[in-house]
Amino acid sequence: MIDSSNLFGSVAAEYELGRPSWPSAALDVVERELQLRSDARVLDLGAGTGKLTRLLLDRFASVVAAEPDAPMRALIPAEAEVLASAAEQIPLPDDSFAAVFCGESFHWFDWKRAIPEIARVLIPGGGLVLLWNRPSGGLSSAEWPPEVGEALDRLVDPIPPEHRYLSFAWRDALSESPFEALSFESVPNGGVLEPECLLARIASWSHVASLPEGEREAFLESIAAHLTEPTYPATLETHLYWTRLLS
């Protein structure tokens, strides 16, 4: 099994350049539904390069960003309190946070260990927020040349199926946890990408990032040869879930 705690470090710069941010409307929803105040202390768990952290810093008085991968962690903004920590062992006291946010990270966790840790560091009734960016219209909505899709389809995916978002194994794990039933909303998150950014986004995907360095570089060179347009649509939707710790 691929160790997700250091999977993305070799492509941290590409992750930061190519991965999408999050729509303000999604954070508006959870801020309202979870009644989070601006003076709240929140945790960005599995923070990556800090894309979600930056948005949380604009809204909340105190933001902690926990990320186990050192090259990824180095890109998190210094305004946050940054921890070298995985979700399965959070080095913080009980009842530390009004909410825990997980942007593109919760599906990677060892849920049997991580969910009790998340519950432990939340205040009674604290919120858990899970976000994923997904292709708008489903997996068939890729907006790049067909040769790119064909090359991606030929890659062997080393990630266990249960640790993919669409397996919903993460959701099953939460169904037997000390949290309320999940609420869900889909929020548009569109845009356009220049070829360099699209190539970086592809490089940051786990089944590409996990390739040996030389093989990954050759693969990306072959992809780049097909990216001849000045821009490409990047039509996404943010799948937003939230719940509360049972009191």
**CA dist., res. 91 & res. 96, Å (int):** 11
C-alpha closest to that of 240 among 18, 25, 15: 25
What is the rounded CA–CA span in Å between residue 9 and residue 33? 34
d(CA 134, CA 120): 30
Query: Domains of the chain: which residue ranges?
Result: 4-136+159-191+236-244
Instruction: List the beta bridge partners of residue 131.
Output: 103, 240
Query: Helices 213-224 and 146-153 meet at what angle, rounded to 10?
Result: 160
Q: Are 170 and 107 in contact (CB under 8 A)?
A: yes
What residues of the chain score a pLDDT lower than 70? 1-5, 137-142
pLDDT for res 138: 53
**pLDDT for 3:** 65
Torsion-angle region of 98 (φ positive above 0: left; ψ -120 to 50: alpha; else: beta): alpha
**Residue 70, Cβ neighbours under 10 Å: how many?**
11
Q: What is the pLDDT of residues 223-242, one digit of tens each?
A: 999 999 999 988 899 999 99
Q: What CATH number should be reported for the domain whose range is 4-136+159-191+236-244?
A: 3.40.50.150
pLDDT of residue 136: 82
Beta carbons within 10 angstroms of residue 204's beta carbon = 21
Polymer length in residues for the chain: 247
Q: What is the pLDDT of residue 191?
A: 86
Q: What is the pLDDT at residue 212?
A: 94
**pTM of the prediction?**
0.95
Residues 6+ apart with CB under 8 A from 236: 20, 133, 134, 135, 136, 188, 189, 190, 191
According to the model, what pLDDT value does residue 140 have? 45
Q: What angle do CA 185, 190, 195 make, to 5 degrees?
A: 145
Q: Please write the tens of the pLDDT for every residue from 79-116.
A: 999 999 999 999 999 999 999 999 999 999 999 999 99
